A = this chain, B = another copy of it.
């Protein structure tokens, strides 16, 4: 096997050459890997680590992992961190990687990060495929089912999306979406724009930047109707209020792409590379949350590393108007308040919730919260004292933070912490429903199985945890992500088979939203993570 060295990074070199004018050289002391090991570590890094630490390893949710940081720690210490994780939010990987893979990863992150290539609009277009011609789309649902209570479910490691009938709990089909879909969004009701057949079309975004279009009116075997690719690495997607455009954001290249929602043909690409709020240039300025503003004809695009919230007007793509709202680094996941005017988003490594006013197109507030807020789909409800509130879980601490979000009705409470609820472990997703007395929080980030496999439920009035539900006890499995059904009578929780990720040994456990008792186990799912109820999502029930 050939042993190769990867010496100087492109960017390090660029600066180095410009500043010193000295010729490059490959130092003999640098760590090396055999080519096959290097390629494997590169792929694993990209799939498992880049999301938090960045493709260029500049750090974001996780810390900087450039050689200047990692060389100081050394091989042994790095192996230990990767294997066991840390209290501060770093995952353990001893359940996913072999000893050798961990050792190679520790070496890999002491080498200069390779810089991935660009992607042009033409390259994206070469991936656009039509599976069903728009002229052959049905004019009414072909299956006679109550599609507005369907759940669209990510089967992460199977590369599929399952469509589950919420009425019967039957898995209707597994749609081939490709590698690790991260988010799926459908058309939604909008205040001023009107999409045809709201809730019918759903769009997936994969970690590999692949976009798929799903038609819920089709017969199950034909639900996948189109496909394209808009980046090498991506996380979020949204559909315009008029249903004409789909927008998706790239982690790499750092850009967002607006596509024709009928054909998925990429129409416009806009770079997000730029300056952070301190005025430092960021090459890897990744797009995290993307939403459609329910009250205005615009998209909301969160640029993680620059702390810029972009409000992108979609009425004229050739003369594209964007308001860049400076907030705080590192923007990640967000959700609208019940009025649809305010977007509430975690600037996670700044320990802040950022609030944007989409009517005035400006920063409304920044709320100081505990370590690494992460609301996932988020939750809004009414508090007896504070009035309308929003809440978030935290990646860094077992806590739910709750703040007032009604500046009109409750100006004294607005954008201030109302109360906090301690949970057993750090989590990623919070959820409730207007019909429910309870708020649900998962504990996905906790290293111990008992906690990671349990979700906690607290009462909206007493602020007390009323129940800790152990969703599974099987080793290698984690409980995460709650979604209510259409009328709010059930709560669905995913059991993610992280360890046995190639087999359909994951499940969704359905609970009675009132009694908190288990009702069903939907089996035969491979690594289910996020799930999206058509009725709730199309009607902004957050």
Contact = CB atoms under 8 A, between A and B. Distances in A.
A208 B292 CA distance: 42
B278 A271 contact: no
A18 B324 contact: no
Given A14-B115, A114-B17, A326-B318, A271 B279 contact: no
B269 A362 contact: no
A361 interface: yes
A6 B10 contact: no
Contacts of A362: 316, 318-319
A7 B237 CA distance: 41
Contact of A118 (B117, B281, B319): B281
Contacts of A18: 114-117
A274 interface: yes
A120 interface: yes
Given A325-B318, A361-B319, A362-B319, A7 B23 contact: yes
A8 B6 CA distance: 14
A186 B280 CA distance: 29
A334 interface: no
B279 A121 contact: yes
Interface in A100-119: 114-119
A179 interface: no
Given A10-B17, A13-B10, A362-B319, A281 B275 contact: no
Nearest to A120: B280
B117 A19 contact: yes
Contacts of A23: 4-7
A312 to B, nearest CB: 10
Contacts of A326: 318-320
A45 B284 CA distance: 29
A408 interface: no
A13 B21 CA distance: 17
A413 interface: no
Contacts of A8: 24
A411 B205 CA distance: 47
Given A281-B253, A322-B321, A324-B320, A13 B13 contact: yes
A122 interface: yes
Closest A-B pairs by Cβ, 8 of them: A121-B279, A10-B14, A14-B115, A271-B274, A319-B362, A321-B323, A118-B281, A4-B23
Given A266-B279, A318-B362, A319-B362, 5 more contacts: A8-B24, A120-B275, A271-B281, A316-B362, A318-B325
26 contacts: A4-B21, A8-B24, A10-B10, A10-B13, A13-B13, A14-B114, A14-B115, A18-B114, A19-B117, A24-B24, A118-B280, A120-B275, A120-B279, A121-B275, A266-B279, A269-B275, A269-B279, A273-B274, A316-B362, A319-B324, A319-B325, A319-B363, A320-B323, A320-B324, A321-B361, A322-B322
